[in-house]
Chains A and B, each alone.
Chain A
Amino acid sequence: MTMSTFSKRSIAGLMLLGMIIPALAACGGAPAAAPIKETVVVVQTAPPEVQTVVVAPTADANATAAPEATAEPTVSEAFSTPHPILGDVKVRQAIAYCSNRPEMIASVYPFLSTEEQASLLMDTNVPKGHWAEATDGITTYPFDAEKGMALLDEAGWKDDGSGVRANEAGDPLSLSFTTTNAQFRQTWSAVFIQQMAACGIQIIPTYAPASWWFGNSTGLRHRDFELGAYAWVGEPDPKGQTLYACNQIPLPSNGWEGQNYMGWCNEKASQAILAANNTLDRAERIKQYAIFEQEFTKDMVSLPLFNRTEAAAASNNVEGFKPNATEYYTANIGEWKLKSGDTVVLGFTQEPSSLWGTIESSASQRIPAFLISSVSFTKYDYDYQAVDLKQLPKLDNGGATNTDIEVKAGDKVWNTDGEPVDLAPGVKVVNAAGETVTYESGTVTMKQLAVTFEYNEGIKWEDGQPLVKADFELANKIDCDPESGAQDYTICKSTAKVDFLSDTSYTVTYLPGVQWPEYFIYAIGAYPAHQVLSDGRKLADVPAKEWQTLTEITEKPLSTGPYVIDSWVKGQSMTFSANPNYYKGAPAISKVVIKFIADTNQAVAQLLTGEVDVLGNETLGGGAEVQQVLEAAKKGDLQAFTIASPTWEHIDMNMFVK
């Protein structure tokens, strides 16, 4: 009895101690002198400063192993001390040379052939085959451990025979490596760690939960890493300004704004990426991206590893299935054919919350949307192609104009913070020459972009009514209404006016100063203004805030595409039938069913047993299930495709210590 009382008491005591110690520790860690607090005015998040800077072409673009070309970032507080190891470009390059990336690829994608594996390897921040990919003048890092070790020797990290290199002071060449705990990353990381060990670099891995690594105030966002691995997703517009410009380095003093987690500031690269992001001329963009990629690969602040791979598969009965890295596979569903039968069943991992693209823009909405809406353009192979538009309206084909106009105080303009403002003294804008100027008085000449979208003749709604001007007008009104529920309204805010010219064309004129590099894709949608709802109201009369719950919009929208939606059984499937009023003629396949299958194993089983005909890359992914599908394809049971996904893995190197 005594014993038990004693033990209970001691347990309670220990628990109390357990609670007190962390509290004491927390108190003890406070700085001796309290900081001074200043209130910060909360402003709209400013995008990176928009300025077009013309950079003179560089003479020696193809330098290899250039010594310390990196400029010091313009900070003088936290993250201002160069990293004792990664601050040296030779070490960073050595890491790149010591990385046998084909081996890493083979570890995660053993089911791919050697050629397919090789095609995933990336040399720059732009995926292979992209229009902005530079091939000349960039520094490549083929696996060469000898070269890597020589660079380490040069940098003063000598091999003392212990297996881990050290400098003269005896500090070991040891780096922490942080990434998520996803199995995929742990697999290739294990290979990477071995490769580094072979060069005498000790890697201490941390496989953190994604919620910490990508958290809002933890991990990557607060630059809490030395080597850090994660992925970016390539797009037709390579962008990059927020990732690599000098003014995008997240710091405690700027509220951690920006995504340049490496802390890399190379003036030439920074100016090139700004220029590439802010000009409308494709040739100029290619030139600037090339300059950027040369600097990026030379400084080796972030080692591009490989594109992930994804597979897509279809039964042999389906003809015309064309999966692509940057476009959804239903984009050409109107052209598909079946060898036998009249129904094609698509398996899809996630059910859309709504078919209304304004509030739901994920793949789950886009895939069915291609069946029931006219498509202005597609984006195959990292580029754009006109479909229901007569052409992509560009400056060089007369579809768009970018004219100089004079603006004066009181005129609405687009400022450098990316906001519509009335021009007044103190407002910063970009003038027609591409310089950032602060307005004081008088007039300033700015660029004004106007884009005319012209649609093919004859587009009709499924009820046979033609697409008319009022339909575009309604779409413009609703989609730009702040109560519609859309995620952002940046395009709407940057628009000065829309002139609806005819039933097939309209011109969007942007505010002076707006220079969207992809101006030719921001077409307005169309809603059937003539449609009468089940409650007797006309669609055009329904206020925007009600639209997200309107069945006629979210679940059974009127179609202008090759199919019309017949039914949507929640949690199970959607059924579509051929649209007899489709302006390009009814499609060959008369019925399409989209089934929602959350589990990939189940989806593959349904493909193999013939219950579904098509699994796209967003459903099949690149996991272990792919192997089974590829084997079935090898036997001729089905057709399978592996695609280099736009998602690419890379290792960032933090150039500074906290």
Chain B
Amino acid sequence: MAAFLVRRLLQMFLVTIVAAICSYSLLYISPGGPIETLLAEKQNGGANRIDQSDIQRVIERFELDINLPIRFSRWLIGWPNGPIFGSFGADWVVGCTTPGKVRLRYPDGRTEIVEEGCENTLTLAELEGRKASRGVAFGDFGESQVILRGRPVTDLIGSRLFYTLYLMGGAVGLALLIGVPIGVYSAVKQYSRFDYTMTSIAFVGSSLPSFVFGIFAILILSVLAKQAGLPYLPSGDAVGVRDYVIPLLGTITAGSFFDRFLRFLMPCGVLTFINIAGWSRFVRTSMLEVLSQDYVRTARAKGVKESAVVLKHALRNSLIPFVTLLAGVLATLFGGALITETVFNWPGLGRLYIDALSRSDYNVANALLLINVVLLLIGILITDILYTVVDPRIRLG
């Protein structure tokens, strides 16, 4: 077990680094970004014209003048932030502040100006004095570049984490509590009316995207219900900003427990429903496979009680593939539900991630991606350990 853990942790470390390199580079090489926007504005004339020095400042703020590997290293471990070996190597080039331009004169007389090479290089010595984080490896995710400009990314994540955890925790917990028994019961009572009903519902749940559910839920339970004078649910947010009246329930005080509970119901309901739809089918299939095994027939033949056959002999064995499915739950708890949070205006990390991507806040997006990778890997590790609990025949090592 110890050897297994050491090996797995080592693997996890490597996978994390590779994933970080991939996500970090992909974010930066994707088109768009702050400079693209500025270059478009550079074309404007007039009093708010952008010039090269304005672009230079933004490039420096986003560290886009530093070569990607060096930038990545500064982000990961906060190094290098100046000359490495004192005066030796202080003039090593680590980036380019102004790209070079060359005019190509073709034999047929055409000319063309293209970017090539570097006009002004950036040396290690010039990195000194620049703002740098201690590195994400040491828990410093740097500063938000756009969304909360100049302030720590951890502040931003901190302000959203609680909301995501309680929405996702509630939804995942409920889905497990409801989905697994439904799956088991459907398998045991295969082709019963219950099974058919659940199968139909599950198909609907797994084939419709979450935003469709979300919008329908808002329309029916919120907008139309309110217009019809019926009790309704608030359409979004995690907490109200002013008191409101709901028929039969009376005045709801903004910020009260009840207010928060009412707002939690719809997003949680949608997420729970979608999870149940998927998971109950999974448990059902896996249960059916186990129920047809010889050892189940043997147990029944021995005269073991049906409930014991189902719960002890069949369920435990059928859960092995299901546990694999749950590996991602830890990451999901943190990552939030991107679409559902947006549809219900839930102030969670999923919405923050979308915001960070659309506004080119690289540090925030990278932080969320990295945390997700780490949590996913931890989830997989826990799953592997859980296998031994669910199935004692499995030995790690």
Contacts and interface: CB of A to CB of B under 8 A. Distances in A.
A351 interface: yes
B355 interface: yes
B64 to A, nearest CB: 13
B241 A595 contact: yes
B138 to A, nearest CB: 21
A40 B150 contact: no
A44 B43 contact: no
Interface stretch (A209-217, A289-297, A307-315, A320-328): A209-217
B242 A593 contact: yes
Contact of B148 (A253, A570, A593): A570
B52 interface: yes
A351 B147 contact: yes
Nearest to A258: B43
B52 A570 contact: no
A255 interface: yes
Nearest to A612: B241
Contact of B102 (A40, A418, A549, A605): A40
B43 A605 contact: no
Interface of A: 31, 33, 35-40, 42-45, 47-48, 76-78, 211-212, 214-216, 237, 239, 241-242, 252-259, 277, 343, 345, 351, 353-354, 359-360, 418-419, 482, 485, 487-491, 494, 516-518, 522, 548-549, 554, 569-573, 575, 593, 595-599, 601-602, 605-606, 608-611
Interface string B25-65: 00000011001101110111111111111100110010000
Nearest to A40: B101
B236 A597 contact: yes
A593 B241 contact: yes
A549 B150 CA distance: 6
Contact of B215 (A37, A214, A601, A611): A601
A577 B178 CA distance: 46
Interface size on B, as a range, is 35 or more
Interface of B: 31-32, 35-36, 38-40, 42-54, 57-58, 61, 98-107, 109-113, 116, 119, 144, 146-151, 155-156, 159-160, 215, 218-219, 222-223, 226-227, 232, 234-242, 244, 342-345, 347, 351-352, 354-355
Contact of A255 (B113, B149, B226): B113
A252 B113 contact: yes
A517 B215 CA distance: 49
A84 B35 CA distance: 36
Main secondary structure of the interface of A (DSSP, over half): loop
B119 A42 contact: yes
A93 to B, nearest CB: 28
A42 B100 contact: yes
Contact of A602 (B57, B160, B218, B240): B218
Nearest to A493: B51
Contacts of B38: 487
B52 A345 contact: no
A582 B156 CA distance: 33
Given A42-B98, A353-B146, A522-B47, 17 more contacts: A33-B107, A37-B104, A40-B113, A42-B99, A44-B52, A76-B109, A214-B40, A242-B44, A257-B43, A353-B149, A485-B57, A487-B54, A490-B49, A571-B351, A573-B241, A601-B218, A609-B235
A253 B112 contact: yes
A488 B113 contact: no
Contacts of A518: 47
B90 to A, nearest CB: 24
Contacts of B151: 549
14 contacts: A38-B103, A42-B99, A44-B51, A44-B52, A45-B42, A255-B113, A257-B43, A354-B149, A487-B48, A488-B51, A595-B237, A599-B342, A608-B223, A609-B235
A573 B48 CA distance: 31
A48 B342 CA distance: 44
Contact of B53 (A44, A569, A605): A44
Nearest to A217: B115
Contacts of A78: 110, 112
Given A211-B31, A241-B45, A599-B345, A35 B104 contact: yes
Given A42-B100, A611-B234, A611-B244, A77 B355 contact: no
Contacts of B116: 37
Given A77-B110, A608-B223, A360 B149 contact: yes
A442 B15 CA distance: 71
A571 B104 contact: no
A255 B54 contact: no
Contact of B50 (A242, A488, A605): A488
B223 A605 contact: yes
B45 A35 contact: no
Contacts of A485: 57, 61, 149-150
Q: Select the residue from B48, B110, B345 with max chain A CB neighbours within 10 A.
A: B345
Given A35-B106, A487-B50, A488-B50, A42 B347 contact: no
Nearest to A546: B150
A549 B151 CA distance: 6
Contacts of A242: 43-45
A599 B340 CA distance: 11
A518 B45 CA distance: 13
Nearest to A31: B106
Nearest to B215: A601
A371 B99 CA distance: 43
A158 B44 CA distance: 42
Contacts of B242: 343, 345, 593
B156 A570 contact: yes
A36 B105 contact: yes
A342 to B, nearest CB: 9
B154 to A, nearest CB: 12
A470 B182 CA distance: 72
B147 A610 contact: no
Contacts of A570: 148, 155-156, 159-160, 347
Given A237-B46, A354-B149, A608 B347 contact: no
Contacts of A494: 47
Contacts of A257: 43
A572 B238 CA distance: 9
A601 B44 CA distance: 34
Given A253-B110, A593-B241, A277 B45 contact: yes
Given A516-B47, A602-B236, A45 B102 contact: no
A343 B242 CA distance: 8
A48 B46 CA distance: 9
B165 to A, nearest CB: 14
B234 A609 contact: yes
Q: Select the residue from B31, B35, B226, B354 with max chain A CB neighbours within 10 A.
A: B31
Contacts of A255: 101, 113
Contacts of A554: 149-150
B102 A38 contact: yes
Nearest to B218: A605
B111 A345 contact: no
A617 to B, nearest CB: 19
A42 B101 contact: yes
Nearest to B30: A211
Contacts of B155: 570
A419 B109 CA distance: 32
Contacts of A522: 47
A636 to B, nearest CB: 13
